[in-house]
Amino acid sequence: MNKRNYQKELEEILKGMKKYGQAVWTQPPRLFLHSCCAPCSSYVLEYLSVYFQITVFYYNPNISFEEEYRKRLEEQKRLIRTYNEEGGRYPVAIVDGDYEPGVFFQMANGLEDCPEGGERCFCCYALRLEETARRASEGGYDFFASTLSISPLKNAEKLNEIGFALAEKYGINWLPSDFKKKDGYKRSIELSAKYHLYRQNYCGCVFSRRTPDAGPDIL
């Protein structure tokens, strides 16, 4: 069976929309976008904020430790301020999620020895995406999505599988994605350099932190 091309599915959805500046929207479609960090969101925001009125949802209870969590959050806010000052797109808002490391460790109980990119990571996707879907539904958003698929080390197939299941559960549209395609990951590196963004060298949790020689591409 051929794998689904989620980037192509996204492009088909965007075909039915007008870009910022091409038409006056009384209410552009609203997207509730989970973001793991500023570098991963840089390209996604550049790409989608001309189509959607985006609210970034920063919810990452997997991140160890709180100092690291706050540092990444402040970088996310700085990038959004910069984008909004530049203009040429719909303004981007941000909602801070709760920092709940206990929730993550409860989820990871029994999965501590799973390899990176395995079942523990899939459960972590689901943990963050479920909270995103719930809030998006309660907030009356048109779509929800995540920046996670931009990473070459994240499983886009699993992310979209979880996203579509949560869309059905919460009655809201999931925006399919594989943002790493069409040089999306490459563009995120370029934008990170342009805006001098902090690029962490591990995904976030203590388990990814112990991965030898993870390097910046662990994102």
DSSP string, 155-175: -HHHHHHHHHHHHHHHT-EE-
- Averaged pLDDT for residues 128-139: 98
Q: Which comes out higher in pLDDT, residue 33 or 22?
A: 33
> Which pLDDT value is given to residue 202?
83
Which residues span the domain enclosing 110?
A: 29-218
Mean pLDDT of 136-144: 98
Residue 167 falls inside a structural domain: yes
Q: Is residue 97 part of a domain?
A: yes
**Sign of the Cα pseudo-torsion (163, 171, 2, 48, in order):** negative
Residue 9 confidence class, pLDDT cut points 50, 70, 90: very high
Please determine, for residue 219, whether its predicted confidence score (pLDDT) is greater than 80: no
3 part of a folded domain: no
How much is the pLDDT for 39? 97
Q: What is the CATH number of the domain that holds 168?
A: 3.40.50.620
Query: Rounded mean pLDDT of 169-188?
Result: 97
As a whole number, mean pLDDT of residues 4-17 equals 95
Who wins on pLDDT, 186 or 18? 186
As given in the structure block, the two tokens for residue 148 are 């996670």
Q: Which neighbouring-strand residues pair with 174?
A: 144
Kind of pairing between the strands at 30-34 and 93-96: unpaired
In this prediction, residue 119 carries a pLDDT of 95
Using one digit for the tens of pLDDT, what is the confidence trace for 67-97? 999 999 999 999 999 999 999 999 999 999 9
| Number of domains observed in the structure of the chain | 1
The pTM for the full model equals 0.93
Question: Does 46 reside within a domain?
Answer: yes
Q: Amino acid identity, residue 186? A: K
Per-residue pLDDT tens over the stretch 59-74 = 999 999 999 999 999 9
Identity at 143, one-letter amino acid code: F
| Neighbouring residues of 193: CB distance < 8 A, sequence distance ≥ 6 | none
User: Beta partners for 146?
Assistant: 34
Task: Note whether residue 130 is domain-resident.
Answer: yes
**Which pLDDT score, from 0 to 100, does residue 210 have?**
66
> Stretch 23-30: mean pLDDT, rounded?
76
For residue 24, being part of any structural domain is answered with no
Phi, psi dihedrals of residue 22, rounded to the nearest 5°? -90, -20
Name every residue whose Cβ is closer than 8 Å to that of residue 199 and which is 6 or more positions away in sequence: 39, 192, 216, 219
Give CA separation, 71 vs 60, 81, 198, in Å. Answer: 12, 16, 9
Specify if 18 maps to a domain.
Answer: no
Establish if 5 belongs to a structural domain.
no
